[in-house]
Structure 1
Amino acid sequence: MNSRPEPNETPRSGSSVGAPEGEGQGAGSVGGHEESWFRVLRVAGCRTAVTVVTSLLCMPLAALACGWSPSVIVSGSMEPSLSRGDVIAVRQVKATEVGGGAVIAFNDPSHGGQLTAHRAIKRWHGDSYETKGDANPKPDAGLVTPDRLKGVVAAVVPFVGATWLWLQGGQWAHLAIAVLLYTIALRGCLEGALAPGHVTARLRRR
């Protein structure tokens, strides 16, 4: 009599060839996890950088919306309180409202009427103020009279005005590097949003 194969028996040909099941997949999954963590950190860093830079760039516009006047610091006479490239927001006040030690903005006749921001160190009769740059060894020559006072420095946005200084000084290399870095950060944000894993996850949710 011919014996029939048992229903539970399966052919054994070729079943012993190759690595055990799951061994190759394990190595691939480890590499995938490392790549995914690297992608997460990279995208998070790019988004943080873009958010911070964009927020700083928008702050002078917010100052204008509040009725304040933004100006760029072009000298180091107020270091370390104010540095070259910082943007200050000047709020108009009366001469009688200037507090002691406040940084005030005024038209400086010794510099052709240029707007200057120095600290008020002493108040004289007639609501005039003696001023001095924090980095200068001596006070300014003349007093700031009420007609020359433009206001007090109400806010400072660091580094935003550096691009304006680069344009004025023809430092195109610095400007190009800044634009390139910002573009790379933007690309990193878009890369995270368009990653294959994100697309697959969205499709599965639908």
Structure 2
Amino acid sequence: MPASRVLLVAAVAAARAVVTLALALGFWAAAPVALGWLPTTVMTASMTPAIEVGDVVVSRPMPPDALLPGRVVLADDPDWSDRLRLHRIAGIDVDGALITKGDANPSADSSPLHPDAVRGVGVLRVPWVGLPVVWVKTADVVPLGAVTVGFALCLLLALRRGDDDDPRPPADPDEPHRSLPVTRRSLRAQRRRAPARVRIGRAFGLASSLAVTAALGATPAWAALADVTAAPGSIVAATLSPPTRLGCVNDGGAVVTWAYDGSEPRGFDLLVNGRVVASGIPPWARAARVPNDGSYSLFRTDRVTVRTTAGQAWSAESSASVPVGGVFLGFGRPFCR
């Protein structure tokens, strides 16, 4: 095969990969709308480095008891009537209002959020796909034009039909065998005579590739939506010890078990990747069910820990953790891995 042909095949393959990736990212950003979830393009850098400008964050409506510290929420901004606020919950005041803070901001937001103003909790981050929206809003025509032209060229190249896209038509058994010279005209004629089932098969293969790429290659960055920001302070009770001997049992979902040998605490908290998912567990309890709130991913292993509590702060968190698998787009139950 001549070098020019090798370069052309490589260019077509690369263009198809770029187009497939773009369509997969677009799928993840748009498909959750069918479930009633809310995709939002991030326009500012207040949540960097967890969430960057141009990312699309999909928020899922959740009940008020799911609005826990550490979670990223999308809410109507009380300071700007025409804007939405996408910040992390840093705490809850005595009146039940949510104190929010951008990860990159030095201090919390001046106006707390009422729980009724929250539209959803961030559950999915799709990188880059919202950059064209940012460029349009900011009138940044240079990158917008470059990306538009580049994608158009990739699309044209990806749709190019190579000489080997269609199989050669089967030979007629009644026709005597004879060798014919292969020319450009004969190859074009063979492509025109390609049966409809071949074209349908090619389209089905492309659709299957897109589906597999979307499912396996576009794993959402859940950690960006689950990390807990640093607390301004903590109170440590010296008489309390961390839970030990953590275990996990599948009983209609993931049930985490632990042992505790210290003085009686006020209670226990259950954390997933450092995010509190269950609090106020009684001090005599030695097991808790991982709540099924759809915040876990089928394609990622979450780490569950348990901590003893004393008032509004914790004294000690278990050094060990148990792995828990998740659900897909909110369907299913967390399970022990």
Length-normalised TM-score, structure 1: 0.75
Residue identity opposite 2:129 in structure 1: V
CA contact (8 A) 1:100 1:120 kept: yes
Provide runs of 4+ in structure 1 moved above 6 Å.
none
Greater Rg by CA: 1
What is the CA distance between 1:40 and its match in structure 2?
2.9
Is there any run of 5+ residues in structure 2 with no aligned partner, and where?
172-337
Name the structure with the higher strand share: 2
Instruction: Show the counterpart of 1:133.
Output: 102
Residue identity opposite 1:170 in structure 2: A
Change (3 A) 1:74 1:120: same
Mapping of residues 2-151 of structure 1, within 5 Å: 32-112=1-81, 114-151=83-120
CA contact (8 A) 2:38 2:120 kept: no
Q: How many residues align?
A: 171
CA distance in 2: counterparts of 1:167 and 1:203, whole angstroms: 47
CA contact (8 A) 1:95 1:127 kept: no
CA contact (8 A) 1:73 1:86 kept: yes
**Over residues 21-65 of structure 1, what are the superposed CA-to-partner deviations in whole Å (9 max), with x where a residue is unaligned?**
xxxxxxxxxxx3433432332222111100001111222320211
CA-atom RMSD, angstroms?
2.0
What is the CA distance between 1:204 and its match in structure 2?
5.8
Change (3 A) 1:94 1:127: farther
Residue identity opposite 1:84 in structure 2: V
Instruction: Show the counterpart of 1:203.
Output: 168
CA distance in 2: counterparts of 1:126 and 1:66, whole angstroms: 32
What is the CA distance between 1:182 and its match in structure 2?
0.8
Residue identity opposite 1:77 in structure 2: S
What is the CA distance between 1:68 and its match in structure 2?
0.3
Residue identity opposite 1:46 in structure 2: A
SS in 1 for 2:27: helix
Mapping of residues 186-197 of structure 1, within 5 Å: 186-191=155-160, 194-196=161-163
SS in 1 for 2:98: strand
CA contact (8 A) 1:84 1:162 kept: yes
Which one has more relative contact order, counting CA pairs under 8 Å at least 6 apart? Answer: 1
Residue identity opposite 1:160 in structure 2: V
Length-normalised TM-score, structure 2: 0.47
Instruction: Show the counterpart of 1:183.
Output: 152
CA contact (8 A) 1:96 1:127 kept: no
